[in-house]
A and B are shown apart, each in its own frame.
Chain A
């Protein structure tokens, strides 16, 4: 019969009338994301960071700017004081290579994704912002964070976050 194929197809669509929708109503409800999600708000622990600038060198786009000043932190082991640690997230593509490169577990990807801004300049994350930011590290390239639930991962202190 002509039209049989169309009816068959309509049967499929009809069956969906009685199924639960797969979408979520976004601002009220959020789809889950996974521990390794590479997101916004980099997490940076100043006490773990030595200022080695591996992250800056490894970034394909030169997004991270680091200026160290030995005089800021004299006589503290093998560590430089940091004057500038700026991440230009407007250019960052969240590839995670900087996090992978950091040898001291000082830099982590974040877990958030909502940070729309009105200006490009405000996408620049400065050192003070990184110092004060809520620490919600992602488990990307940090396998030791894997078993830690997201709720427990918020505001991890530096010894908890490192290996």
Chain B
């Protein structure tokens, strides 16, 4: 007797714990093997781009916090750079250093979360995630000292930062920069050679180099495929041209490479933070601008290398107090565009890890 089988469509999400936010995948399974994938977005759509059209330029900073809520400082930075470009001004030197430090700390924090949840998806339940939460908590403390909040910082302003670093910040940052490499080593000892992790990740979810480039991926997902492309090197903004750091790249672009690239990037970020701490000058931290900005007519696009990839803000000004149009290039959204190519042919358990290894954030995907 032969059994009659037929493919079945399964909805993964929108509230599945492994989908990193409210993200739904309609997957066509044949047995356990994935045949077709259709991502469904939009559950977290808040219309940030449209809302920006009726906020003043400073008020929009609060909206950018809520895009990628695990990397609010990078969003702030990208937006502020865009406004500065629109107005043809530059932040003072000290502000640039402060913003670079913040952006790098944010990268570490975001990678900690990305790795933690990726490992959680693999079944390393809670232990590595909790270790990483512990270090992230220290970064949150640093941000709280400087900005007063732990998630939605609203710290940067067009033309600088909201307030100078408080006196307790530098000693705490130094302490963190000294401790953190030890912790990163610890994560490596904990899991890098773990046989279960290696079997689950090596060769799984391979994203070939050409495909990654054609899909205009960016960030660690692209670098893991062996493309040394990083806006901090390719188009240096802030003070990245004055610091030294390496670009970790992967070899074949599988889950394991994405894991290792993120681990190594945290080390490089610490290196940047340390150099910034040495070079940071005294001086003003905010350009002398009025509260209500009226940039001249025109448009500007500024991008930064956010923790998840190229994060850009395109602003069109009509000379009034709020932008005529604000468009956001969200790296998470574009990194998801190759999901189908990555998933077809793998099993359901691998799907969870592949999706997890991309480290996207729905707040940014749906905007």
Residues of B close to A34: CB separation below 8 A: 141, 144-145, 148, 166, 168
Smallest CB-CB separation from B51: which chain A residue?
A60
CB of A48 within 8 Å of the partner chain:
no
CB of A64 within 8 Å of the partner chain:
no
Task: Pick the residue among A36, A101, A143 that contacts B146 (CB under 8 A).
Answer: A36
Q: Of A7-15, A72-80, A81-89, A120-128, which stretch is located at the interface?
A: A7-15
Residues of A close to B63: CB separation below 8 A: 60
Chain B: number of interface residues, binned into ranges: 35 or more
Please determine whether A5 and B163 come into contact, CB atoms closer than 8 angstroms.
no
The minimal Cβ–Cβ distance linking B186 to chain A, given in whole angstroms, is 6
Please determine whether A97 and B195 come into contact, CB atoms closer than 8 angstroms.
no
CB of A136 within 8 Å of the partner chain:
no
Instruction: Kindly state the separation between the CA atoms of A4 and B166 in the bound complex, as whole angstroms.
Output: 46
B194-231 residues with Cβ-Cβ distance < 8 A to A are: 194-198
B114-156 residues with Cβ-Cβ distance < 8 A to A are: 127, 134, 137, 141, 144-149, 152, 154
Task: Pick the residue among A3, A12, A22, A95 that contacts B154 (CB under 8 A).
Answer: A95
Residues of A close to B190: CB separation below 8 A: 8-9, 12-13
Smallest CB-CB separation from A23: which chain B residue?
B134
Instruction: Kindly state the separation between the CA atoms of A31 and B186 in the bound complex, as whole angstroms.
Output: 25
Residues of B close to A97: CB separation below 8 A: 58-59, 62, 154
Residues of B close to A96: CB separation below 8 A: 148, 154, 162
Smallest CB-CB separation from A10: which chain B residue?
B190
A interface footprint on B304-347 (CB within 8 Å = 1, 0 otherwise): 00000000000000000000000000000000000000000000
Known: A4-B193, A5-B192, A38-B148. A60 touches B291 (CB 8 A): no
Please determine whether B148 and A138 come into contact, CB atoms closer than 8 angstroms.
yes
Please determine whether A13 and B127 come into contact, CB atoms closer than 8 angstroms.
yes
Please determine whether A94 and B149 come into contact, CB atoms closer than 8 angstroms.
yes
Smallest CB-CB separation from B167: which chain A residue?
A146
Instruction: Kindly state the separation between the CA atoms of A3 and B145 in the bound complex, as whole angstroms.
Output: 43
Please determine whether A93 and B195 come into contact, CB atoms closer than 8 angstroms.
no
Residues of B close to A132: CB separation below 8 A: none
CB of B44 within 8 Å of the partner chain:
no
CB of A150 within 8 Å of the partner chain:
no
Smallest CB-CB separation from A142: which chain B residue?
B163
Most buried by B among A22, A37, A93, A95: A95
Please determine whether B144 and A36 come into contact, CB atoms closer than 8 angstroms.
yes
Residues of B close to A141: CB separation below 8 A: 162-163
Known: A36-B145, A36-B166, A37-B148. A5 touches B198 (CB 8 A): yes
The 4 A-B residue pairs whose C-beta atoms are closest, nearest first, are A5-B193, A60-B59, A38-B148, A36-B148
14 more CB-based (< 8 A) A-B contacts, given A37-B148, A95-B152: A2-B195, A6-B194, A8-B194, A12-B190, A13-B190, A22-B137, A34-B148, A35-B166, A37-B144, A60-B55, A93-B62, A96-B148, A97-B59, A97-B154
Residues of B close to A5: CB separation below 8 A: 191-195, 197-198
Known: A13-B190, A33-B144, A60-B59. A143 touches B164 (CB 8 A): yes
Please determine whether B189 and A101 come into contact, CB atoms closer than 8 angstroms.
no
Residues of B close to A94: CB separation below 8 A: 149, 152
Task: Pick the residue among B144, B146, B166 that contacts A146 (CB under 8 A).
Answer: B166
19 CB-based A-B contacts, threshold 8 Å:
A4-B193, A5-B191, A5-B194, A5-B198, A9-B189, A9-B191, A9-B194, A12-B186, A34-B148, A35-B166, A36-B146, A37-B144, A37-B148, A60-B55, A60-B62, A94-B152, A95-B62, A95-B152, A146-B167
Smallest CB-CB separation from A146: which chain B residue?
B166
Residues of A close to B193: CB separation below 8 A: 4-5, 8-9
The minimal Cβ–Cβ distance linking A2 to chain B, given in whole angstroms, is 6
CB of A42 within 8 Å of the partner chain:
no
Instruction: Kindly state the separation between the CA atoms of A140 and B148 in the bound complex, as whole angstroms.
Output: 7
Residues of A close to B58: CB separation below 8 A: 58, 97
The minimal Cβ–Cβ distance linking A60 to chain B, given in whole angstroms, is 4
Smallest CB-CB separation from A39: which chain B residue?
B148
The minimal Cβ–Cβ distance linking B290 to chain A, given in whole angstroms, is 11
Most buried by A among B148, B166, B189: B148
CB of A100 within 8 Å of the partner chain:
yes
Residues of A close to B192: CB separation below 8 A: 5
CB of A109 within 8 Å of the partner chain:
yes
Instruction: Kindly state the separation between the CA atoms of A8 and B194 in the bound complex, as whole angstroms.
Output: 8
Residues of B close to A12: CB separation below 8 A: 186, 189-190
Residues of A close to B196: CB separation below 8 A: 6
Residues of B close to A22: CB separation below 8 A: 134, 137
